[in-house]
Amino acid sequence: MKLLTSTRLGKLHLHNRVVLAPMTRNRADAAGVIGAMTVRYYAQRANAGLVITEAVNISAEAKGYPMTPGIWSAEQVEAWKAVTRAVHAAGSTIVAQLWHTGRVGHSDVRDGRLPVAPSAIAIQGQQHFTPTGLKDYEEPRALTTDEVRATVDDYERAARNAKAAGFDGVELHGAFGYLPNQFLVDACNQRTDIYGGSIANRARFVLEVMERLVGVWGEGRVGIRLSPTLAYNGMVDSDPLATFSYLIQELNALPLAYLHLMRATPDAARFPHWPKDTITAFAPLFNGATIVNGGYDRASAEAAVTDGAAQAVSFGAPYVANPDLVRRLEVDAPLAVADRSTFYGGGERGYVDYPTLEGGAPPAARGYWLVQATVGDPSRFAAYTTVAGPLIASFGGRVLARGDVAEVVEGEVPRRPYFVEFPSYAAARSCFRSAGYQDAVALRAGAAHFDIVIVEGLAPPPSGA
């Protein structure tokens, strides 16, 4: 299956084309800090080539739902480090989805503060999930121009925090009716400043945020998720083809990792002038890699990557109930059905207790997998180790023969073999196949002899070896 072959999305290396879609699960604490259960949840599903986290609030002001995680505080960042380490140890790549809910919130979730939005226009015909039950949406407070700019700053800070937490990149949540989507759609953006009116002005907020994210992460490590043909949360644009075509063409000027497109079109009958096929209408406009999402099964996902419609396919609900989804797709096994009553909030039930094909809980990655490296000419090796040392650590690797990674990076490089321990073969393989490692290799190309041998099941060397 081509779906199970490796690919690159910008600088992101995927060992298969199956992506864990971002899914809100409401398992953080009241301070927006995730715990060990969330680490286990992502580790179980790190068989995906790319893991995209649930949406993560960029600030306290961004929060719209209870028990959702954040990435603005030091405690939140520290908690996410455990997730990135676990996913890297399992051999996968992980990006954080950055979130501002905008008007999709309620004062009951925000310590009495009204939600904010481009304009003071409430969502009609829906209710919001609060700690005390479903409630009608309130009229949000319109952001001032200065507050819009401050929100762009918040996205940049969140991107820096994501880097500190060990993520491989970030994705802007520009879909499903949240704040970036609200700026784009004319039904909820009635502003008269530089962020409202024309399509170019309504796209300005998203483009400014994306420029900041790329400024933090550099080339090939920032993605964006869009849902051009989804009217949920009041996203009714008068001309989504024109609006999103303009946005995507402007995004082509940035060195992005991917465009993540939701193909959902449940509102097509209500809006006959909207594009009937989201992927056909918008994916060809983007110059880079595309991830597609929305109701794909084994056959349609394989067709999407085989036909070139996308480089990868993201799965939401199927991954909730099938933590070993990649294996099930590989052998064409039946998929378990998720219990939707446990999607939002609660404990382990419906979160980390779904069995694998073998009938047990997904195993944790553990065991000794060692890499032996021989350095013949270390004259230019310091530049390599400055990059490679922290990278090895980010995949759960630890240099045993010379102590920790920092000691190898800062000290004299030995002219003898040394050993790197990884928690799994997959982690070692992903590390040495990663774009970051290839960048490190380029720093010592032609200057150092560096042989890598994967040694499975070898015991660690004695202390001081």
**Main-chain dihedrals φ then ψ at residue 365, nearest 5 degrees:** -75, 125
Query: At residue 153, what is the residue type?
Result: D
- pLDDT given at position 405: 34
Residues 33, 116 within the same domain: yes
Q: Which of 100, 9, 12, 96 is nearest to 53 (CA)?
A: 96
Helix (H, G, I), strand (E, B) or coil at 269: coil
Q: Select from 342, 361, 392 the last residue of a domain.
A: 342
Residues 378, 335 within the same domain: no
Number of domains in the chain: 2
Q: Is residue 427 part of a domain?
A: yes
The CATH number of whichever domain residue 407 belongs to comes to 3.30.70.100
Q: Is residue 354 part of a domain?
A: no
- pLDDT given at position 360: 59
| Rounded CA separation 424/428 (Å) | 7
Residues 265, 391 within the same domain: no
Instruction: Tell me the two tokens of residue 365.
Output: 């990655």
The CATH number of whichever domain residue 9 belongs to comes to 3.20.20.70
Count of C-beta atoms within a 10 Å radius of residue 148: 22
Q: Which of 442, 424, 454 is nearest to 92 (CA)?
A: 424
- pLDDT given at position 264: 72
Q: Is residue 403 part of a domain?
A: yes
| Rounded CA separation 212/79 (Å) | 24
Q: Which residues of 299-314 are buried (b: 16+ CB within 10 A; e: fewer)?
A: eebbbbbeeebbbbbb
Bridge partner residues of 289 (DSSP): 258
Whose tokens are 């226009």? That residue is: 121
Whose tokens are 């909207």? That residue is: 274
Residues 413, 279 within the same domain: no
Q: Give the pLDDT means over successive 10-residue stretches in the chain (465 positions).
A: 94 95 96 95 95 98 97 97 91 96 96 97 92 92 98 98 97 97 98 98 98 98 96 94 98 98 78 91 97 95 96 97 95 93 93 85 41 48 66 71 36 44 66 69 49 41 39
Residues 95, 243 within the same domain: yes
Residues 93, 208 within the same domain: yes
Q: Is residue 270 part of a domain?
A: yes
- pLDDT given at position 290: 98
Residues 399, 301 within the same domain: no
DSSP secondary structure string for all residues of 274-341: S-S-HHHHHGGG-SSEEEEESS--HHHHHHHHHTTS-SEEEESHHHHH-TTHHHHHHHTPPPPPP-GG
Angle, to 10 degrees, between the axis of helix 381-394 and the axis of helix 435-443?
A: 160
Bridge partner residues of 369 (DSSP): 422, 456
Q: Which of 400, 385, 405 is nearest to 447 (CA)?
A: 385
Whose tokens are 């960048």? That residue is: 439
| Rounded CA separation 51/94 (Å) | 5
Q: Select from 307, 342, 377 the last residue of a domain.
A: 342
- Number of helical H runs and strand E runs in the chain: 14, 18
- pLDDT given at position 379: 53
Residues 267, 224 within the same domain: yes
| Rounded CA separation 374/371 (Å) | 10
Q: Is residue 425 part of a domain?
A: yes
Q: Which of 315, 266, 325 is nearest to 294 (CA)?
A: 315
Q: Is residue 465 part of a domain?
A: no
462 class by beta-carbon count within 10 Å (0-12 exposed, 13-18 middle, 19+ buried)? exposed
Q: Select from 301, 326, 342 the last residue of a domain.
A: 342
Q: Are 422 and 7 in contact (CB under 8 A)?
A: no
Contacts of 378 (CB under 8 A, 6+ apart): 412, 413, 414, 415, 448
Residues 286, 145 within the same domain: yes
DSSP secondary structure string for all residues of 398-459: EE-TTSSHHHHHHSPPPSS-EEEEESSHHHHHHHHHSHHHHHHHHHTTTT--EEEEEEETPP
Residues 248, 329 within the same domain: yes
Q: Is 344 a catalytic residue?
A: no
Contacts of 382 (CB under 8 A, 6+ apart): 413
* Catalytic choice (41, 178, 195, 354): 178
Q: Is residue 355 part of a domain?
A: no
Torsion of Cα atoms, 226 then 230 then 231 then 232, to 10°:
-80
Domain holding 16, by residue range, is 2-342
Q: Are 422 and 373 in contact (CB under 8 A)?
A: no
Residues 29, 102 within the same domain: yes
- pLDDT given at position 462: 42
Residues 246, 108 within the same domain: yes
Q: Is residue 362 part of a domain?
A: no
